[in-house]
Every structure is written in structure tokens, then in C-alpha cells.
């Protein structure tokens, strides 16, 4: 099993996904990312998928879930670098992404993640709705 490199940058971690992930590998990457967030106490997570040519319903849901899981650990997530072909295909496939933040590249992603951290503190009084989804 391969490893995905996870880079630490201040209070953020950056995960560039450079290989095509099969389902079990994608689950391992999710686990590795969350372990790193927990270990480092990171408040921001950038997942770079600019090298990923296929995002199907499984990987799409896994990325969206990872973002929601990281938020429970206290980290805001921005998914960066989605190719336009992938965006078109995901929407035609019928994927719906809720509360998934995206940016064009790592630089914009880092800017957005800082903004999200501030916002999440401001809206803390306004607790997000809890309960079961779906």
C-alpha cells in the first residue's frame, strides 16, 4: 500500500493526492488525513486534487465526508484544484455536495481556509443544526 504525503504548514496541513486511488486506498488516505489532523491539532486542511483525473461517486462522497469529519475534529477543509472535466462529470452524475468548500489552487485555498476559521469562531453562538442526515 502506498502513502500519500501530508505536508504541515503552520496550523494547516496540505494533502496533495498524486495517484489514482482505488476505494480501499481512498479510505486509508481519509484515515491518514484525520490521524494527522488529530496529531497536529490542525485548524485547516487543504486537499489538492489537481492531479486526480477521475472523481466518481465513491471518491466524491469520501472527500465530502472527510471535510465533515475534519470539522468535527476542529479543522476547516478546502478542496482545491478540481479539473473542469471532473466538475462537469460529478454534476452530471448527480452528486450533491453540501458544505464543501473549494478553491482553484493551494494559494487561494489557504486564503479561504483562514477566512473560514474566523467565520466559524464568529458563528459559534449560532450552533450548526445537529441530528441525523438522510
Partner 1 sequence: MNDQKGINTFQISISSDENVIIARQKIRALAQEMGFSMLEQTRLITAVSELARNIVVHAGEGRVSVYREEERKGLRVVFEDNGPGIPDIKKAMEEGYSTAGSLGLGLKGSKRLVDVFDVKSEPGKGTRVEIVKWL
Which of 51, 54, 73, 104: binder of partner 1 (CB under 8 A)? 54
Which of 29, 33, 46, 55: binder of partner 1 (CB under 8 A)? 55
Burial of 25 (0-12, 13-18, 19+ CB in 10 A): middle
24 binds partner 1 (CB under 8 A): yes
Closest CA to 16 of 47, 44, 38: 47
Smallest gap from Cβ 77 to partner 1, in A, equals 20
58 binds partner 1 (CB under 8 A): yes
Smallest gap from Cβ 22 to partner 1, in A, equals 4
Handedness of CA 106, 21, 43, 7 (dihedral sign): negative
86 binds partner 1 (CB under 8 A): yes
Amino acid at each position: 500500500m502506498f502513502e500519500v504525503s501530508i505536508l504541515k504548514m503552520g496550523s494547516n496541513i496540505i494533502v496533495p493526492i498524486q495517484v489514482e486511488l482505488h476505494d480501499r486506498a481512498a479510505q486509508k488516505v481519509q484515515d491518514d488525513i484525520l490521524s494527522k489532523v488529530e496529531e497536529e491539532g490542525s485548524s485547516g486542511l487543504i486537499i489538492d486534487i489537481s492531479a486526480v483525473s477521475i472523481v466518481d461517486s465513491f471518491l466524491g462522497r469520501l472527500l465530502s465526508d472527510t471535510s465533515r469529519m475534519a470539522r468535527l475534529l476542529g479543522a476547516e477543509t478546502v478542496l482545491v484544484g478540481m479539473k473542469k472535466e471532473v466538475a462537469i462529470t460529478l454534476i452530471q452524475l448527480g452528486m450533491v455536495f453540501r458544505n464543501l468548500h473549494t478553491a482553484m489552487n493551494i494559494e487561494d485555498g489557504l486564503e479561504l481556509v483562514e477566512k473560514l476559521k474566523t467565520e466559524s469562531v464568529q458563528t459559534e453562538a449560532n450552533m450548526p443544526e445537529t441530528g441525523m442526515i438522510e
